[in-house]
Amino acid sequence: MKRLNEGIALATKKGDNGTRALLEEILTSEEEHIDYLEAQLHQIKELGFANYLAQQIED
């Protein structure tokens, strides 16, 4: 995340809008992945690992 933000700042400074837009898309995607993983970790904490796995099999 830090590197992507630094890359976006540099691309903006250099006026490279194509690279900036690409990095922003990647950053958005990575933020979504992080949110998903944090939600899964929260469920594991709340349910316990065995119950979490059982829920995954049902879905």
Break the chain into its structural domains and give their ranges: 2-58
Note the pLDDT of residue 5: 97
Contacts of 4 (CB under 8 A, 6+ apart): 23, 26, 27, 30
Note the pLDDT of residue 56: 87
pTM for the model: 0.76
- ∠ CA 45-1-33, nearest 5°, is 45
Note the pLDDT of residue 58: 76
Note the pLDDT of residue 57: 85
List the chain pLDDT tens, one digit each, 59 residues. Answer: 999 999 999 999 999 999 999 999 999 999 999 999 999 999 999 999 999 999 888 76
